[in-house]
Structure 1
Amino acid sequence: MTAIEGVLFDFSGTLLRIESAESWLRAALTASGTAMDEAEIVRSAAALERAGALPGGSSPVEIPADLAGLWEIRDRDARHHRALFTGLGRQVPLPEPELYDALYERSRTAEAWQPYPDAAEVLARLHRRGIRIGVLSNIGWDLRPVLRAHGLERYVDICVLSYEHGLQKPDPRLFALACRELGLDPAAVLMVGDDRTADGGATAVGCSFLPVDHLPVDRRPAGLRPVLDLVG
């Protein structure tokens, strides 16, 4: 078996987790100076979650027919990503039309994301071992400032973001590109992610794959530590 010399991590649900839909809505209301009744906040947050409007949150219970095409290509272009998620948000009536954009902007801030408890420790230990580290994400915006704000960017050698390349996982070309940027043969690279279809696609180019559970941060205190056992 080829020794692992590099690790690619997914972003959302793997290294960091998005806040709850209720926290997300409350922050957007504050940012826009909009008032809502407390009970309505709770109801609307639950409806936004069912609609799949929170990037990094739950998938839609039902995708509206007019957004189905965008859903399939949402991570290939920044405009697609914004249009899809603000469109999903608009399935839920809110008191001010600017709230849908305010919600999207909130989802791109460092404050909306929380690292998993072992993320910094695992990245730091891999970095000290001389392992090449990359973040490979299906996303529609630049996550580097979020990594930086949480003190994780210092350990990361490369970021490969789907919207910057017009490709999204599980397209083998995106994994191959990430391996080239790491400067490693795919056989020497481990992909770590919470989506067995999207992230597991790394095996098509010869990478190893380690799945992690997409759980709230307080329910997954050590989900990344098995990486340390797989990497010499």
Structure 2
Amino acid sequence: MDTDPLRHRPDALLLDFGGVVFQTRKRPEGRSDAARHLHEFLARAGHHVDPALLRGSLDAGLAALKDWKNAAGRRRAPAELDHRTIWTDFLASDLDDRARELLAGSAADLLADMSPLISEHEVRPGVRDLLAAAQTLGVRVGIVSNAHSGRSHRRILHEAGLEHRFGVQVYSDEVGIRKPHPEMIALAARALGTVPARCWYVGDTQDRDVVAGRRAGAGAVVLTRHHHTDHPPYPVREHADAVLDTPEGLVTPLLHSLPDEPAHRGDAPAAPGAVPAQAARQAPEAVEPATPLSGDPAEPGPAAARRVPGALLLDQGGVIAHSTATPDAQRDFARSLAARLDRVGYAATTDTVLSLVLAGRDRYRSWKAAHPSGGPIPEITPRRFWSDMVGRDLPSRARSFLLAESSELTLEYARSKSHAVMRSGVREVLEFCAERGIPVGIVSNTVCGRAVREELDRFGILHLVSAHVYSDELGLRKPDPATVRAATTALGVAAADCWFVGDKPWRDTAAARRAGVGVPVIVRGGSAADDQISSAQDGPAELRPAHVIDEMGELLGLWTEAPVPSGT
């Protein structure tokens, strides 16, 4: 582990705006001035609102926004509020409809006007020297900042004569995400022709900046103390590499940093989603993801196709289990639901409810078919399934009941649809993996992951599965590669070291290939007919499995000729 990340000269220096480039100070009269500005704006439209009322709305909205921002800092990938929402739901939420709509209609302009009214901005000590040092060394510089108005920040930079010093400015309101989302930093790094591992990131908050820097894999994370640096809203586990009183303290380390020789290309990142310290010294192109997100994936070589996997990923239906429809159980479910609806005052027969459920199922299938497979592929929520698909034509009362009970209804519905029997060879494969320390994950499109877990428990194999990724819980469906990546992240393995066994080439193999799985396998006897599997074997590389097997136990024959990895 590198004990001095600041020893290595970065390709790029990424700076927060407030607290790093500028120190901010609230103007005592700022909010009153802002309220008067809003009063004049509304008055020009013929709508007169008392400035005191506007000031009270601003005070309440800004307090609520502060709480929202603190909460967003705990999220893994927080989105930014759009400008309209800031006005309608926060700053003007208690004003009348007309005022709220007038303000929302000019949301971006008003936010840009308000920033300099509420706060004063002064360039922090050492910033100009730091930017000059970066220019001398050929280190590119960018801004990465959470902001309600990037437009205002750009204007302030221009007025300070610093605009030309920055190659890129990334503001949360302009890109739609906010720190600690690591993509804020990754986006700036890409724009400057490098990767986070070869950047220093400088912020002023522990909960947003330090966490964002660590999640992005920045080469070094530095704090310059400002208002909230030493008083985060909650405990933060991550720590900065250096904490300085002002940016001036970074000038000397930058000037004394040493340029690096390009590292060997064999020094690959050790874990998916993160760049370890030893990989941080690579040339930028060497640490870009090797797996394409689209197009034809690379074919596995013979060595990749015959070896014990680093992890085994399995689909559930058609792979772990065969299922048979149970119409009698479905009818019992419909009878029970009709009785519950009757208890809340909506009369329905068993036949009526069964027709509604089957119609909802057909609408759900049409909804799935309408989503192209080229981008994110969403999964429907239980609330939407029961309220909008099953209950689409029902009165509001019945739909409200279905929505409120949607979680339990989904479980009961899943239990009633079919009866599952475990496929031969599954237990032997899972026990083989357990004996050798090979982690196993389930990656399944399903209406109810909770029901799948019950099924695995009934088979007596739940304890042999380490990770569960179900579409209803993740919110995405295969062939979206995010489903597979969620499993590899959970298991702590690289996708290239995994085998993935599914029964549908167009869904399972495609998801595996897109995620960079080393060896995709298709097992016959599931949803895909033999001619569909044969077509996939001769078709596009994305759908082409490395192996086709008849039963799960054949995996053991593919593995046993290969040596077991050391340490297992």
Confirm or deny a common fold (TM above 0.5).
Answer: yes
Matches of 1:74 and 1:109, distance apart in 2 = 24
Q: C-alpha root-mean-square deviation of aligned residues, in Å?
A: 3.9
Partner residue in 2 for 1:212: 224
Partner residue in 2 for 1:78: 83
Matches of 1:32 and 1:84, distance apart in 2 = 17
**1:224 equivalenced with 2:247 (yes/no):** yes
Kept in 2: contact 1:15–1:115 (CA 8 A)? yes
Shift of 1:30: 6.6
Matches of 1:123 and 1:150, distance apart in 2 = 13
Return the letter of the residue paired with 1:199: D
1:66-111 CA deviation, whole Å, 9 max, x = no partner? Answer: xx89xx86734233344465248x69xxxx9999x89845433498
TM-score for the superposition, normalised by structure 1: 0.68
Higher relative contact order (CA 8 A, sep 6+): 1
**1:53 equivalenced with 2:43 (yes/no):** no
**1:119 equivalenced with 2:127 (yes/no):** yes
Kept in 2: contact 1:4–1:189 (CA 8 A)? yes
Partner residue in 2 for 1:173: 183
Distance 1:105 1:186, change over 3 A: closer
Matches within 5 A, 1:1-232: 2-25=8-31, 27-28=33-34, 31=37, 48=59, 51=60, 53=62, 59=66, 75-83=80-88, 86-87=91-92, 104-109=111-116, 112-141=120-149, 142=151, 143-200=153-210, 201-207=212-218, 208-215=220-227, 223-231=246-254, 232=257
Distance 1:108 1:186, change over 3 A: same
Matches of 2:130 and 2:177, distance apart in 1 = 28
Return the letter of the residue paired with 1:168: R
5+ long unaligned stretches in structure 2: 41-51, 229-243, 258-568
Kept in 1: contact 2:125–2:248 (CA 8 A)? no
1:109-128 CA deviation, whole Å, 9 max, x = no partner? Answer: 49842222332232233223
Greater Cα radius of gyration, structure 1 or 2: 2
Matches of 1:152 and 1:19, distance apart in 2 = 19
Matches of 1:122 and 1:83, distance apart in 2 = 40
Distance 1:121 1:16, change over 3 A: same
Kept in 2: contact 1:82–1:104 (CA 8 A)? no
Distance 1:118 1:153, change over 3 A: same
Shift of 1:137: 0.8
Distance 1:9 1:15, change over 3 A: same
TM-score for the superposition, normalised by structure 2: 0.31
> Is the partner of 2:221 in helix, strand or coil?
strand
> Is the partner of 1:197 in helix, strand or coil?
helix
Shift of 1:152: 1.4
Matches of 2:86 and 2:136, distance apart in 1 = 36
Shift of 1:148: 0.5
Kept in 2: contact 1:74–1:81 (CA 8 A)? no
5+ long unaligned stretches in structure 1: 35-40
Kept in 1: contact 2:126–2:251 (CA 8 A)? no
1:13-59 CA deviation, whole Å, 9 max, x = no partner? Answer: 2222333141413543675788xxxxxx9xx79x94xx5728xxx94
Q: Which moved more, 1:103-112 or 1:146-155?
A: 103-112
Q: How many correspondences in the alignment?
A: 203
Kept in 2: contact 1:74–1:80 (CA 8 A)? no
